[in-house]
Amino acid sequence: MTLTSYNHWDPSCSIEHLRARALLYAELRRFFLDRGVLEVETPLLGRFGVTDPAIHPFITHLNLPGHKDPETLYLQTSPEYAMKRLLASGSGSIYQICKAFRNEELGRHHNPEFTLLEWYRVDFDLMDLIEEVEALFSSLFETNPHWEAPQRFSYAEIFHQCLGLDPFKATIEELEASARNQGLLEAAALCSEDRSVWLDLLFSYYIQPKLGHNRLTSIYHYPAFMPSLARRSLDHPECVERVELFVAGVELGNGFFELSDPIEQRKRFEGDLEERERQGLPVHPIDDRLLSALETGLPDCSGIAIGLDRLLLLLTDQKALADILAFPMDRA
Amino acid sequence: MATVSTSDFKGGLKVMMDGDPYNILENEFVKPGKGQAFNRVKLRNLKTGRVIERTFKSGETMETADVVDTDMQYLYNDGEMWHFMVAETFEQYAADAAAVADAKKWLKEQDVCQVTLYNGVPIGVSPPNFVELKIVETDPGVRGDTSGGGGKPATLETGAVVRVPLFIQTEEVIKVDTRNGEYVSRVK
């Protein structure tokens, strides 16, 4: 996209959608106030980025007068680490509505700068959290007469239902055959031998579009090789306690029963950095402050991040983020 | 030719793929929860007109195609080729039946069409959105019946057949929308 249309001074969304956003924020704040969840604020500009090889941060520099070497700072790709530091210091359940920034993401459902609702519930396991998310969505969508009761499927169930495959046991050849049967001939070239890329591709093409029609659909128990910051499931050791939310085929959020083991967390970070090196991506420092917080002790908690721009898109029945953002990237 | 990446893909961009020129129709950025990003792209093969879908890894690059759309005046058909001319330069181009395709039933001498050139050779022709053509044959309508319901077929000077209201007669000139092949109005 070229950023040269300077004549586009006016917002790309209507004033009505500005009001819808303000109303959404008011409803969210009321929801959490009623439940005794504390609103907090954490820095958007931090010393550490994320290690996740699929997330690319914006990098800037702190210049102090008289100092020769500017310090590298990262625009936060999510407030997760800072919020966990608050949880470890005894904040209790907290939430935040804030901006997050991710480089290299631009499309109908992606803007490099976007708004997140992130919340953590102390003493909630993943199913408790899903229940709260369902309550929130029921109240947000209550004016939609077609809105139906929420659905939950495990990752394995939904793969079986939509593709007749077991995502944990299927061989790469079987995954490839499934893609080929649906006419996706280039899949093998895209995914090669990487199982998680295969599952991601099949999921986003042949499962995701079917999820969440006039309802919230939660998919939980992701494979353990897609762990991110989730705790390994005790009952299903091949899975992690991670959930993703879908409405109208749009991915709206990602939540975890949070990993609190600092040693396991450091191992995952280091694994990420090795993968970054392998892919020739910049290697960012590990957030030692988060690890120190985990060492002090993160209470058992579950947390989730929901993309509010996408949520607003669905609440207002629009097609692209540009319809509900005042100034998307090409007008920023 | 220049190289473009998936981030530059947008409707109307012409790229080379598998040796053929393609026009990008849609480009959807797909990024699963926390994983590899893809671009799911719809493209039209400019030689065959076929629309296909293809997925790229985000950041992949392609060569642009040497494809340009040029306004040209339609001159004549010699029985095999359709001849066009760029009005400003008098440059002439001959398009074969595959390139002219469905446009041929709307081509009237002197009309300005959009001709798509690939490496300097016509591979597609778009007629003007509206053409004015004379009716060479249609059933005489019943006098006084102007209810319009249904209409009747009329053959135009180019051979195209369109439905017209009953009051329209042979030898009359009508305006037709070439995008849907529908009668628009009578031309006085």
- Measure in Å the smallest separation between the Cα of B69 and chain A Cα atoms: 22
Instruction: Give the integer Cα–Cα distance in Å for B24 and B3.
Output: 15
Model confidence over A260-314: pLDDT tens digits? 999 999 999 999 999 999 989 999 999 999 999 999 999 999 999 999 999 999 9
Residues 6+ apart with CB under 8 A from A264: none
- Structure confidence at residue B142 (pLDDT): 62
Neighbours of B104 (CB within 10 A): 18
Per residue in A200-222, pLDDT (tens digit) is: 999 999 999 999 999 999 999 99
Q: pLDDT (tens digit, 9 = 90+) per residue, A224-261?
A: 887 778 999 998 989 999 999 999 999 999 999 999 99
Q: A300: how many CB neighbours lie within 10 A of its CB? A: 13
Out of A52, A104, A187, name the one closest to residue B34 (CB).
A52
Is residue A2's pLDDT more than 70?
no
Choose the mutation target among B9, B18, B34 for the interface with A, i.e. most A CBs under 10 Å: B34
Residues 6+ apart with CB under 8 A from A172: A193, A195, A198
Q: Which strand (E) or helix (H) includes residue A191?
A: helix A187-191
Confidence of residue A5 (pLDDT cuts 50, 70, 90): low
End-to-end CA distance of chain A: 13
Q: Residues A102, A75: contact at Cβ < 8 Å? A: no
Band of pLDDT at residue B115, cut at 50, 70 and 90: very high
Cα–Cα–Cα angle for A108, A112, A116, rounded to 5 degrees? 90
Cα A156 to its chain centre, rounded Å, is 20
Task: Determine the Cα–Cα distance for residues B99 and B83; give it in Å rounded to an integer.
Answer: 12
| Chain-centroid distance, C-alpha B12 | 14
R_g (Cα) of chain A, nearest Å? 20
Buried b (16+ CB within 10 A) or exposed e, A133-157: bbebbeebbeeeeebeebbbbbbbe
What's phi and psi for A184, nearest 5 deg? -95, 80
What is the reported pLDDT for B32? Answer: 82
Q: How confident is the model at residue B36 (pLDDT cuts 50, 70, 90)?
A: confident
Q: What is the pLDDT of residues A33-47, one digit of tens each?
A: 999 999 999 999 999
* Contact state of A110 with B33 under an 8 Å Cβ cutoff: no
**Cβ contact, residue pair B31, A106, below 8 Å:** no
Burial of B142 (0-12, 13-18, 19+ CB in 10 A): exposed
CA angle, B90 as apex, B89 and B94 as ends, to 5°?
A: 120
Q: What's the pLDDT score for residue A150?
A: 98
Q: Is the pLDDT of residue B144 over 90?
A: no
- Partner-chain residue, chosen from B28, B34, B54, that has the shortest CB–CB distance to A54: B34
Please tell me the predicted confidence (pLDDT) of residue A159.
97
Q: What pLDDT does A246 receive?
A: 98
* Beta carbons within 8 Å of A273's beta carbon, 6+ residues apart: A51, A283, A284, A286
Q: Give Cα B188 to chain centroid, integer Å.
A: 27
Cβ-defined contact of B36 to A200 (cutoff 8 Å)? yes
pLDDT category at B48 given cuts 50, 70, 90 is confident
Q: DSSP secondary structure string, A233-247? A: PSS-TTEEEEEEEEE
pTM (2 d.p.): 0.83
Q: A69 by DSSP, 3-state: which?
A: coil
Angle, CA of B131, B137 and B141, to the nearest 5°: 105
Q: Residue A266 to residues A234, A260, A263, B68, B126: CA-CA distances in angstroms?
A: 20, 11, 5, 55, 61
pLDDT computed for residue A300 by the predictor: 97
* pLDDT of res. B143: 57
pLDDT in tens, A99-138: 999 999 999 999 999 999 999 999 999 999 999 999 999 9
The values of phi and psi at residue A14, to 5°, are -85, 165
pLDDT of residue B62: 94
Domains and CATH numbers, chain A: 15-150+215-331 (3.30.930.10)
Give the model's pLDDT for residue A229: 87
| In the predicted structure, residue A4 carries a pLDDT above the cut 60 | no
DSSP label at A206?
Answer: I
Q: Is the pLDDT of residue B35 over 90?
A: no
Strand bridging mode A94-101 / A38-39? parallel
pLDDT at B56: 94
Mean pLDDT comparison of A35-44, B8-17, B37-46, B56-65, highest-scoring range = A35-44
- The amino acid sitting at B159 is G
Up-side HSE of residue A165: CA atoms within 13 Å toward CB?
24
Pick the residue from chain B with its C-alpha nearest to A2.
Answer: B8
- The H or E element spanning position A72 is strand A71-75
Arithmetic mean of pLDDT over chain B? 91
Q: Of A140, A309, A130, whose CA–CA distance to A221 is shortest? A: A130
What is d(CA A266, CA A271) in angstroms, rounded to the nearest whole number?
Answer: 8
Asked if residue A58 has pLDDT above 70, the reply is yes
Task: Quote the tokens at residue A170.
Answer: 């299927």
Q: Return d(Cα B156, Cα B159) in angstroms, integer.
A: 5
E-assigned strands of A224-317?
239-247, 250-257, 301-307
Q: Identify the residue among B31, B50, B58 best suited for mutation to test binding to A, counting A beta carbons within 10 A and taking the highest.
A: B31
Looking at residue A310, the DSSP 8-state letter turns out to be: H
Whether residue B147 has pLDDT greater than 90: no
**Of A294, A168, A171, residue with least CA distance to A237:** A168
Nearest Cβ partner of A54 from B27, B28, B35?
Answer: B35
Q: Cα B168 from chain centroid? A: 27
**pLDDT beyond 60 at B148:** no
pLDDT for res B174 = 96
Q: Go through the domains of chain B in sequence order and give each one's CATH number.
A: 3-63 (2.30.30.30), 67-126 (2.40.50.140), 130-187 (2.40.50.140)
